[in-house]
Structure 1
């Protein structure tokens, strides 16, 4: 491959493609250098190390994922929004397994702070859940429920973990319906419990989104 025009953006895009092809764990600077026909050392003028490269892949994938989710959720509310959100999440996870795996890594807070994708993920996720009348600390609890359900289901589906004859799509639809019921009848914190939550040092700020 030609060496001209090597940049951070091209490296990260190539690393994301490699992740989907071979698995996120197989993304390495050596593998990328071979793709571009350069020495490993040439890449260090664009990224500090493998950790930074993988973090940038995580942010790229998170941005792609939330763009798809946002497009599907636009103009919807309540159960329709939840269904659209869940469907877009699952579609991305199954279509881009390596990229999706990248979204699950812990990104350096300094790098994440400058990421529009991270901010947008929190805005869209928490915004959808506020449609159920939730406020902190229930919002963060609900985000964790959605994230663990979506991630667990997609991870099992991707690895062929469902063996029963029941249609996988039908089970997914039922799971999303169950989440809607849980969010609609959420066991909200009392004022006393909420006060104790804040006193214990919880900030109430969006700390995590379902697309990372």
Structure 2
């Protein structure tokens, strides 16, 4: 059976040629940074190396969705949107650090551990990974499990952390960044649906 060329693969979301070109540009920029030279010889070697490595490695960056019907390119993230998301995440990290520090320093230790379950309908595995890791990075919250049907189980330490998860702000920002459905529903432990905060 002849192996299908990824540039002709209809399962790839987006334009495979654009994915290859983007990867080549990223590699060439990396080459310029590590070579530290703009001489013509180094530029030509960098272009050839970048095109070759991108050609060989682009298929390795294709990630299949849960249903195995689509392939997403792992580097197909809009850089301006990613920069805005990272700045917002940094702000959340600082606020969460302050919240947890206040809880720990108070004599009464005002913590209310809680497991929150919510569901999103992401198809892109990168969106699921980004959301799960962003929650875990944020002090006071930890991703315990993610099921195949998009149900996240999150442990929260403080009331503010719980409210942050239940509001769905992080899930919605990830959805916008990676162009996924803006669906977010909090599920109670008993399995009944709760109205998410707005």
Pair in the same fold by TM > 0.5? no
* TM-score, L = length of structure 1: 0.22
In terms of fraction of residues, the more helix-rich structure is 1
Structure with the bigger RCO (C-alpha within 8 Å, sep 6+) is: 1
Greater C-alpha radius of gyration: 2
- TM-score, normalising length from structure 2? 0.23
